[in-house]
């Protein structure tokens, strides 16, 4: 069992929270801290165990679940990054033979990106390890807590989508 | 009231979740999606309303709450970025007169970074708006849900800190 009293962090986004901060801001800073902690660990493990970067892994993960491939636009939306970033990443992965780019059957001006056999092999070696890392990091939560957290993050995601749809009033901070 | 059926996203990290994915991996992808959505909105609003970047805002926010200033090392830990990144950021903010760097009283080889009057004025103009943006984004959650989410994210953060402290077994995925 890990020693629950041990703290490896001497500071994070939450350190500067003051008593006057509202709960919503505190939730955001804690959410950001958790995301950075998980992302940092996955990033380091991928580099040390597989000499692979996180953006490349994320891209292979999306392609792994898309049987017929994805367009650049779909990849860009799913990875929540700019088209330009995705294009550069794809170029390098094509150069290494891990993904392939081919004209889309429906529209030859569009391109579909797919995993090559080498790309699938590479991803299949990393994915089970990735699951083990996440599993170990969330080990301190029991099943009830995990289900509650998943549901509340679903509520948060819906609230965020609604606020984006309601963009003008969000910008003015109106309710 | 926002239209809850409206969805502005045609895809995100969660789109590719498959039935075989474990709950812990699904929590992670949902957490990452929520963080990216909030961060993206704050980043765009800062740029459009204040012509300011998110890393600069985050740095001013840390300094705002540190009365006597912070060392580069402390800033780097709290912002969870490398020392090199912080140094470049500070250099530019010093150049613009928003922060100052001076020798630390206790150790003249170390430097303390503080907000200048101009930096404080700039931050004080942005902070209330930032709070409004976060408030509007979390508007879909009631007080009970917010408290539950904050507590569960606290449990998650503790689990992540424990897993980091227990690094060797985390790497091997052992329990």
Q: Chain A: give the shortest CA distance to residue B145, in Å.
A: 7
- Between A124 and B73, the more confident residue is A124
For chain A, the average pLDDT equals 86
> Could you give the ipTM of this predicted complex?
0.83
Confidence of residue B4 (pLDDT cuts 50, 70, 90): very low
CATH number, domain containing residue B85: 1.10.10.10
Cβ-defined contact of A173 to B136 (cutoff 8 Å): yes
Residue A43 within a domain: yes
- The pLDDT value recorded for residue A144 is 96
Cβ-defined contact of A18 to B154 (cutoff 8 Å): no
- The pLDDT value recorded for residue B174 is 40
* Whether B22 contacts chain A with CB within 8 A: yes
Residue A4 within a domain: no
* Whether B120 contacts chain A with CB within 8 A: no
Q: What does the pLDDT look like over A79-103, one tens digit per residue?
A: 888 888 899 999 999 999 999 998 8
Q: Chain A: give the shortest CA distance to residue B58, in Å.
A: 9
* Whether B151 contacts chain A with CB within 8 A: no
Cβ-defined contact of A8 to B161 (cutoff 8 Å): yes
Q: Chain A: give the shortest CA distance to residue B103, in Å.
A: 22
Q: What does the pLDDT look like over A111-144, one tens digit per residue?
A: 899 999 999 999 999 999 999 999 999 999 999 9
Q: Determine the angle formed by the axes of helices B83-95 and B54-64, rounding to 10 degrees.
A: 90
Residue B137 within a domain: no
Residue A16 within a domain: no
Cα A12–Cα A33–Cα B85 angle in degrees, nearest 5: 60
* Whether A50 contacts chain B with CB within 8 A: no
Containing domain of residue B107, as a range?
53-126
Classify strands B70-71 and B111-115 as parallel, antiparallel or unpaired: antiparallel
- Alpha carbon of residue A77 to chain centroid: 12
Residue A145 within a domain: yes
Q: Judge whether residue A26 has pLDDT over 60.
A: yes
Residue B73 within a domain: yes
Q: Report the number of distinct structural domains present in chain B.
A: 1
Name the token pair of A12: 């994070």
Q: Judge whether residue A13 has pLDDT over 60.
A: yes
Q: Chain B: give the shortest CA distance to residue A97, in Å.
A: 23
Residue A169 within a domain: no
Classify strands A70-71 and A99-103 as parallel, antiparallel or unpaired: unpaired
Residue A57 within a domain: yes
Confidence of residue A165 (pLDDT cuts 50, 70, 90): confident
Cβ-defined contact of A137 to B170 (cutoff 8 Å): yes
């Amino acid at each position: 069992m890990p020693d629950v009293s041990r703290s490896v962090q001497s500071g994070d986004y939450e350190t500067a929270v003051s008593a006057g901060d509202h709960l919503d801001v505190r939730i955001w800073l804690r959410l950001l801290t958790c995301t950075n902690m998980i992302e940092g660990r996955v990033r380091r493990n991928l580099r040390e165990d597989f000499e692979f970067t996180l953006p490349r892994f994320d891209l292979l993960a999306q392609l792994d679940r898309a049987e017929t491939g994805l367009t650049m636009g779909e990849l860009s939306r799913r990875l929540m990054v700019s088209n330009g970033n995705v294009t550069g990443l794809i170029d390098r992965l094509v150069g290494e033979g891990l993904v392939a780019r081919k004209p889309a059957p429906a529209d030859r001006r569009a391109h579909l990106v797919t995993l090559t056999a080498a790309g699938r092999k590479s991803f299949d070696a990393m994915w089970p390890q990735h699951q083990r890392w996440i599993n170990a990091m969330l080990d301190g939560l029991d099943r009830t807590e995990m289900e509650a957290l998943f549901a509340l993050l679903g509520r948060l995601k819906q609230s965020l989508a609604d606020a984006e749809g309601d963009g003008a009033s969000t910008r003015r901070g109106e309710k």
